[in-house]
A and B are shown apart, each in its own frame.
Chain A
């Protein structure tokens, strides 16, 4: 078990995955042309984590922008979390959206409708 930190760029988010305390954070913007390539390492880390997860995992998603190509990859990340949750581990996905950003709130609700993991929608001031 370890910590994974991927620094953000203008097109990709900062990722902080601390497998010791059970914390996954994705922050910033996710608009790469090739999102599969970007998210592949995270999905692989999650697969390893899923074999011996913490009993409690907190997930913070705080995205300013994301493109439709990333939306599929984010769903893949959530599906990995869903399987960890299904195995009896607690997981909460905190979905942050800026005040008045209805599109981002709706995007969170779309995932909430698909993924069987508790979501918490959290509004933040601009």
Chain B
């Protein structure tokens, strides 16, 4: 085994990770994750208000991955190199009375600037401005063929009342790794 599983476990334990997943994000997987998380939130006897917020934001974060994660060429030679990998990572945990939802996925480097600009624009807006921007995009925006309406990130910022905390890590000439860390305070 190449990974130190105890090290993995220890880090997840210290960050109080409730659920984590790495791999392809399918519709069936989302159904399962949402069901597991709903049961966990019920078992924790979380306040309905917090439970609803966490669930809503979780749906948007996961569906962002589902709609927008880019495939990357696999590492390997010959026939292996022809294959494409669809893979992303997702974690949810609760630390110091706040929920953390962390997602990570590959993105083509040429799309980094555009996404960064959008996120920075959303981060500049006040609560009221976010409400107006949401209504504007809802009413005038076109639905993309991926099914997203460009509303996901605005909705996350609105519901959490916090800035979108993101990071881009260059991977190679063509791809970067985009991570998003969303906090939901009690």
| Interface residues of A, Cβ cutoff 8 Å to B | 10-11, 31, 33-36, 65, 67-69, 71-72, 75, 98, 100-104, 106, 110, 113-114, 126
Residues of B within 8 A of A101 (CB): 48-49, 52
From B10-18, B111-119, B142-150, the one touching the partner chain is: B142-150
Tell me if B24 is interfacial: C-beta within 8 Å of chain A: no
Residues of B within 8 A of A104 (CB): 52
Residues of A within 8 A of B135 (CB): 110, 113-114
Residues of B within 8 A of A98 (CB): 48
With contacts A75-B138, A103-B52 taken as known, whether A68 is within 8 angstroms of B30 at the C-beta atoms is no
A100 to B48: give the CA distance in the assembly, Å: 9
Tell me if B131 is interfacial: C-beta within 8 Å of chain A: yes
CB-CB contacts below 8 Å: B61-88 with A: 63, 66-67
The chain B residue sitting closest to A115, CB to CB, is B139
Across the interface, do B138 and A72 meet the contact criterion of CB distance under 8 Å?
yes
Across the interface, do A110 and B148 meet the contact criterion of CB distance under 8 Å?
no
Residues of A within 8 A of B52 (CB): 65, 101, 103-104
- The residue in A10, A67, A98, A102 that gathers the most chain B C-beta atoms within 10 A of its C-beta is A67
Across the interface, do B155 and A68 meet the contact criterion of CB distance under 8 Å?
yes
Given contacts A65-B52, A98-B48, A114-B138, 19 further A-B contacts (CB under 8 A): A31-B63, A33-B27, A33-B66, A35-B147, A68-B60, A68-B148, A68-B155, A69-B149, A71-B149, A72-B143, A72-B149, A72-B151, A75-B138, A75-B139, A100-B48, A101-B49, A103-B56, A106-B131, A110-B131
Across the interface, do A67 and B59 meet the contact criterion of CB distance under 8 Å?
yes
Residues of A within 8 A of B49 (CB): 100-102
Across the interface, do B48 and A126 meet the contact criterion of CB distance under 8 Å?
yes
Tell me if B110 is interfacial: C-beta within 8 Å of chain A: no
Residues of B within 8 A of A113 (CB): 135
The chain A residue sitting closest to B153, CB to CB, is A68
CB-CB contacts below 8 Å: B9-49 with A: 27, 30-31, 34-35, 48-49
Q: Which 5 A-B pairs have the closest CB atoms?
A: A68-B151, A72-B149, A68-B155, A68-B152, A34-B147
Q: How far is the CB of B28 from chain A (nearest CB, A)?
A: 11
Among A36, A71, A114, contact of B147 (Cβ-Cβ < 8 Å): A36
Subset of 7 A-B contacts with CB under 8 Å: A34-B147, A36-B143, A65-B56, A67-B59, A69-B148, A100-B48, A106-B131
